[in-house]
Structure 1
Amino acid sequence: MSILSIRDLHVSVETDTGAKEILRGINLDINSNETHAVMGPNGSGKSTLAYALAGHPTYTITSGSASIDGEDLLGMSVDERAKAGLFLAMQYPVEVPGVTVTNFLRTAKTAIDGEAPKLRTWTKELSQAMKDLRVDPEFASRNVNEGFSGGEKKRHEILQMELLKPRFAILDETDSGLDVDALRIVSEGVNRVKSQSDVGILLITHYTRILRYIKPDYVHVIINGRVAEEGGAELAERLENEGYDRFQVVDA
């Protein structure tokens, strides 16, 4: 059993008028094999939480802590966080011209494990993961995200998750831009990874449609950089019916 623990996390970003605090004291505990959905309106701080944990330089952590099994996550470099078992599926995956999907994935796996996977085993695992995600075999020889559709980009993120086998996966609006079929396939991939490992999942989303496929154990509502309410899967259904108006969303 592992735990990702976030305590009183405050995060700021630089704007034209100076530093602006986005997260104002976030507390979360995510255990192995748990799925936590983080919901909230635009600008509430959901993606800021994801990128701050992953180590994006745009986001400045002004106070608070985050750790995996007691190890200080915030004191690690980005690659050290990945080696510690943290994975981020980005909302807007970037293109990497000149680097094929196959080379990217094997290089990432080698960096995280500290040794290159055996080629025969790796080829088999890659082929099976692509088949499960219903990805064309030619996908492996294409450059990372170059010319990919929105659905292909999101499948590639889940493909990484399946092969890298993180301890904790942050999925930042993985459902955005997906049609119904792609959403189902991506969700099946997430559920498959969870069933085969003890991965803890932090699922960031605006809407409940992905939660019909990926059932959350806990739901956290972030409003103006703070956790305004927490509950089980029933809270997501209430948000679907009532929206966020009852939280009186203002820039405090």
Structure 2
Amino acid sequence: MIDAPPTTGENILAGIRSVTHLPISHLVYSHHHADHIGAAYLLANKDVTIIAHELTAYELSLTPDAHRPPPHVTFKDSYTLRVDNQTIQLDYKGPVHDPGNIFIYAPKQKVLMVIDIVFPGWVPFASLAEAQNPTMFIKAHDLILEYDFDYYIGGHVDRAGVRKDVLIQQNYIQDVYNNARTAILLSNSPPNATNPLSASTILGPIEAANPDNAWAMFAGYVDTLAQYCANVTTEKWLGKLGGADVYTYSHCEALVESLRIDYGVLGPFGVQPS
């Protein structure tokens, strides 16, 4: 069994009993977040072996929760789980969403499960699905496409995905990245009729309204760039991916910040030519 979402609760057990009389032998944690394994306690006393990445075990130790019992078995890079004639490959590729978030692959069925990366038919949840490392979130799409899969399980919204869904979201995220980067570069350019994002244009009114408030100035700067990115991106993707009008701004904001501190695209806050 993979994960135990609390919203499903005891219906998980009823669903399993409806298709097999065999007991659950193993529970694999995709990562440590409670919205995916918050009902694991229902299996904790049923001779079920819980398997997770070693970083998931560490994260769980930081916030002990009786609903998310610690794993019995952990691994660092890869782990192969074999039960009777079924095989599941567990791989860790880095912090693509959360430290310990793993790739779960059933080679016989050609099913790949990577939670909280691709949301088939939808844009990701807020702020790149709350990714702790935006650069790895972006890279995750390429890592997913390295697998030979027919079906993709993302853990949220209303359907499973296929390879095309991964490619579509990858294109969406690339657009967010490109538009956020363009916004930063424009903010480092002189103001003119076609550039409303010049830092001098943005910061002047904010400083006047918030004298001696450096955080207000910087927050207003980031907000203006993120809003530009969101407007351009949403115009293209509205009607193509669900929620483009809801979460695109948060993705733009996350990537404006990541471009600055991870990629070194600092705009007017970088070294300026003398």
- Settle same-fold status: TM greater than 0.5: no
Q: Normalized per residue, which structure has more strand?
A: 1
Q: Normalized per residue, which structure has more helix?
A: 2
Q: Which of structures 1 and 2 has the bigger CA Rg? A: 2
The normalised TM-score by structure 1 is 0.32
